[in-house]
Amino acid sequence: MGARVRYALLLASGVAVALCLVDAPLPVSALSGEPLVPPVPFVPISAAPAETLDAALRQRHIHREAMQRLPGGGFRFVDPQPSWRPGTDALRAAQPILAASAQGDAHATYRMFEIVERCLSPPDAPTLRDCERLLAATQIAQRDWLSLAASQGSLQAGVRYATNAKACRARAATYLWRAARLGNAEALLGLAEGHLGGMPVRRDPVKAYAFYLAWVRLSPTFATLALDRRYGGDLTPAQKQTARLRSQDIHRACCRPRQRVH
């Protein structure tokens, strides 16, 4: 490989990293008390973030039908009524959603992602026929709706984006922290997994167990012996006790009843 080619590849890699970090502020969370870089010790909640779940609902960063409140506080994502059903033309169903997305409606943009994703992986030939016109519109079918929805503020898109192996690390962490602050169960478990494996946040097995325990606090049905062993099996009794105390702080910060969602 020539020197010019190596230089071009290096430059392209640097540009990709720079673009990944543009408009992606390092998260400082009441849940963790730390920015992504550099790592600092865990700090319990000191000040709640300004955004609330009510505000996210008003701004259509999530729809009420897409969330289910949990007995221990917080919420999890659920599938609302689909915006498009097989047996109808997907492009026609997408038209009003496209218009709302163009106006900055994050929830509408996430619904576009769902429609396109389903059309790109149709289960049968009739569904493929329903998707034919939408897939022919390459400006729709080839657009990265998930990243757009996440950048517009969609909580579902942000958490889904963070599970992508090709996701920008800084953005993925920011999206997870934000959803976790607002009480989202999937984001709490995502942070448990992230701290266990070191992506997209710093590896910290004690925090991994703490976020897992905070997730379990949202619903007793979440707890399983296999998951408890996964996140806490290698910890000492003292580390587990530290994680239990941290999980209380996390739960108080994200999920204790402090706001009504009508």
Above 60 in pLDDT, residue 45?
no
Q: What is the mean pLDDT of residues 1-30?
A: 37
Range of weakest confidence among 20-24, 168-172, 190-194: 20-24
pLDDT for residue 10: 32
The pTM for the full model equals 0.77
Q: Scan for tokens 């997305």, then name that residue.
A: 101
Q: Bridge partners of 68?
A: 76
Q: How confident is the model at residue 123 (pLDDT cuts 50, 70, 90)?
A: low
CB 232 within 8 A of CB 243: yes
For 153, the token pair is: 């503020």
Distance CA 181, CA 51 (A): 9
Positive or negative, the CA dihedral 224, 214, 173, 109 is: positive
For 109, the token pair is: 């943009």
Q: What is the mean pLDDT of residues 54-81?
A: 90
CB 200 within 8 A of CB 173: yes
More confident residue, 134 or 87: 134
Q: Bridge partners of 22?
A: none
What are the b/e assignments for 160-172, b being 16+ CB within 10 Å? bbbeeeebbbbbb
Q: Where is 35: in which H helix or E strand?
A: none
Question: Which residues fall within 8 angstroms of residue 124, CB to CB, at 6 or more apart?
Answer: none
**pLDDT digit string (tens) for 172-211?**
999 999 999 999 999 999 999 999 988 888 999 999 999 9
Segments in 45-142 forming alpha helices (H): 53-58, 90-102, 106-120, 125-136, 138-141
Distance CA 93, CA 226 (A): 42
**pLDDT digit string (tens) for 136-145?**
998 999 999 9
Q: Scan for tokens 């503020």, then name that residue.
A: 153
Distance CA 31, CA 255 (A): 11
Distance CA 240, CA 108 (A): 42
Q: How confident is the model at residue 262 (pLDDT cuts 50, 70, 90)?
A: very low
Backbone angles phi, psi at 48, to 5 degrees: -75, 145
High-pLDDT (> 90) share of the chain, % = 47
Above 50 in pLDDT, residue 82?
yes
Above 60 in pLDDT, residue 30?
no
**How confident is the prediction for the chain on average, in pLDDT?**
79
Q: How confident is the model at residue 241 (pLDDT cuts 50, 70, 90)?
A: very high
Above 70 in pLDDT, residue 97?
yes
More confident residue, 34 or 43: 34
